[in-house]
């Protein structure tokens, strides 16, 4: 069957994104043909496009989508035609009307979760899940710092951390985004205007926080270290402002015997059980009202370049969708 996809033939700015028609074969053993109803746009997609995370050419883009099973290959027992499914992570290629996906990477979507929420927030939701519950487990009574609190991961992580009983300090860039973040943070700091590390020290009576979740990268790295209590952990999970420059490990000792980790979702969902448990925990958090996930923008599949420009200019809030 023929279907439309977004592909790149070289790394570069958003203009390299091209809408093309390709022919898909029938799903093979262990594979599922998915008719996609909504596609998530994530910052990692811009890293793949630009070459920060190089891809073999030509390549598709996108790691997250929701849709309906159209056909299954030999040996697939868990899914059948008509099932609603979603996926996040794995090989890029989600920017498409239809896609062949390994059954092992798909998760069932409960009736309580819409296609838009599944497609636009599963990657972010599972990221928040592993960050808050496994990379550095948040406990009731803690005070935590979460950067980019108005963004896709940020708004989910802030809400979920509060549901776990933590006091949440969030940062955002600009008056509008700070106002939005105030809905799910106990304290909000504009990191483009204020010295957020100094403000964190004020809020914590000089103690600092045990953990900083930082998806911004270069702009916030030094301040994140300065916000930590002794033996605190910096969880650096993204590079929205650019990659963190090289530094000496001695810096961690000088600033309080600190810990630094750079996790990725793939290492936390490497087994089938981990994947299903992580997705189920996130969907349950949404269904129970712990997290009110937001879709901020929707673009047609053909407008993928515009979606990337808006994302990189930080003009988006919440999650962004492409609609096939």
More confident residue, 276 or 219: 276
Give 131-157 pLDDT, tens digit per residue. Answer: 999 999 999 999 999 999 988 899 999
| pLDDT surpassing 80 at residue 178 | yes
Can you tell me which residue has the tokens 């809030």? 317
Sheet holding 59-60, edge to edge: 18-23, 2-8, 59-60
Give 116-125 pLDDT, tens digit per residue. Answer: 999 999 999 9
pLDDT band at 261 (very low <50, low <70, confident <90, very high): very high
Q: Residue 318 has what pLDDT?
A: 74
> CA dist 143 to 13, 20, 228, Å?
39, 48, 11
Contact (Cβ atoms closer than 8 angstroms) between residue 232 and residue 208: yes
Q: Residue 317 has what pLDDT?
A: 75
Q: What is the mean pLDDT of the chain?
A: 95
Q: Residue 221 has what pLDDT?
A: 94
The answer to whether the predicted template modeling score (pTM) of the entire model surpasses 0.85 is yes
pLDDT band at 299 (very low <50, low <70, confident <90, very high): very high
pLDDT band at 315 (very low <50, low <70, confident <90, very high): confident
Cα–Cα nearest to 170, from 187, 153, 156, 155: 187
Q: What share of the chain is helix, strand, coil (3-state, %, to 5)?
A: 35, 30, 40
Contact (Cβ atoms closer than 8 angstroms) between residue 2 and residue 98: no
CB-side neighbour CA atoms (13 Å) of 315: 6
Give 279-293 pLDDT, tens digit per residue. Answer: 999 999 999 999 998
Cα–Cα nearest to 295, from 322, 264, 324, 265: 322
Question: Biggest alpha carbon distance in the chain?
Answer: 63
């Amino acid at each position: 069957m023929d279907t439309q996809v977004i592909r790149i033939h070289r790394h570069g700015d958003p203009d390299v994104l091209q809408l093309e028609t390709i022919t898909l074969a029938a799903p093979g053993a262990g594979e599922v043909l998915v008719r996609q109803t909504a596609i998530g746009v994530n910052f990692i997609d811009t890293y793949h496009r630009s070459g920060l995370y190089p891809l073999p050419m030509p390549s598709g883009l996108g790691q997250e989508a929701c849709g309906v099973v159209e056909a299954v290959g030999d040996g697939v027992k868990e899914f059948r035609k008509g099932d609603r499914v979603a996926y996040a992570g794995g090989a890029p290629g989600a920017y498409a009307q239809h896609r062949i996906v390994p059954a092992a990477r798909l998760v069932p979507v409960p009736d309580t979760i819409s296609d838009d929420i599944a497609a636009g927030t599963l990657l972010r939701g599972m990221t928040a899940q592993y960050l808050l519950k496994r990379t550095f487990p948040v406990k009731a009574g803690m005070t935590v710092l979460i950067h980019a609190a108005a963004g896709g991961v940020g708004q989910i992580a802030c809400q979920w951390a509060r549901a776990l009983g933590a006091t949440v300090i969030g940062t955002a860039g600009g008056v509008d985004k700070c106002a939005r973040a105030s809905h799910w943070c106990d304290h909000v700091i504009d990191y483009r205007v204020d010295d957020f590390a100094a403000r964190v020290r004020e809020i914590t009576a000089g103690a600092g926080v045990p953990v900083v979740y930082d998806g911004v990268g270069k702009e916030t790295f030094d301040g994140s270290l300065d916000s930590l209590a002794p033996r605190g952990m910096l969880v650096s999970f993204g590079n929205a402002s650019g990659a963190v420059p090289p530094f000496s490990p001695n810096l961690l000792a000088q600033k309080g015997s600190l810990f630094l980790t750079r996790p990725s979702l793939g290492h936390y969902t490497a087994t089938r059980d981990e994947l299903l448990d992580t997705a189920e925990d996130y969907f349950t958090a949404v269904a129970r009202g712990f997290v009110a996930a937001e879709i901020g923008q929707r673009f047609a599949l053909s407008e993928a370049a515009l979606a990337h420009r808006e994302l990189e200019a930080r003009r988006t809030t919440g999650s962004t969708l492409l609609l096939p």
